[in-house]
Amino acid sequence: DAGVIQSPRHEVTEMGQEVTLRCKPISGHDYLFWYRQTMMRGLELLIYFNNNVPIDDSGMPEDRFSAKMPNASFSTLKIQPSEPRDSAVYFCASSFGSFDNYGYTFGSGTRLTVV
């Protein structure tokens, strides 16, 4: 398995533009998580899905952020309009079940810079 695949690896955009981050989880994993990494706050959970259904989006900063999981192999995180304070590394992670046998598998992250 190629692991959790995120794209793009780096994104530089201008303030006000729409940004879409993509994630392909490990096949067979039924949980998908979106995290944001910043120096100040560390890794913070934005939203997570179970069997493609959003379970908790209370970590999404504001209405400018939205996430979808149209099928078991694809998820997107969209920011519209983007702002400089959105600059961070965004990680997608997936896991199998809720038994915590193996932990989460993280993607390589997308480094977003909004100028």
Partner 1 sequence: ILNVEQSPQSLHVQEGDSTNFTCSFPSSNFYALHWYRWETAKSPEALFVMTLNGDEKKKGRISATLNTKEGYSYLYIKGSQPEDSATYLCASRSGNTPLVFGKGTRLSVIA
Contact at 8 Å (CB) between 94 and 106? Answer: no
Q: In sequence order, what are the residues at sequence separation of 6 or more whose Cβ sits closer than 8 angstroms to the Cβ of residue 101?
A: none
Q: Across-strand partners of 100?
A: none
Q: Which of 12, 15, 43, 115 binds partner 1 (CB under 8 A)?
A: 43
User: Among the candidate windows 16-24, 41-49, 68-76, 78-86, which touches partner 1 by CB under 8 A?
Assistant: 41-49
* 71 contributes a contact to partner 1 by CB under 8 A: no
Say if strands 110-114 and 10-13 run parallel, antiparallel, or are unpaired. parallel
* 91 contributes a contact to partner 1 by CB under 8 A: yes
Q: Which of 21, 23, 26, 48 binds partner 1 (CB under 8 A)?
A: 48
Write down the residue that tokens 């179970």 correspond to: 50
Q: Which of 2, 42, 70, 71 binds partner 1 (CB under 8 A)?
A: 42
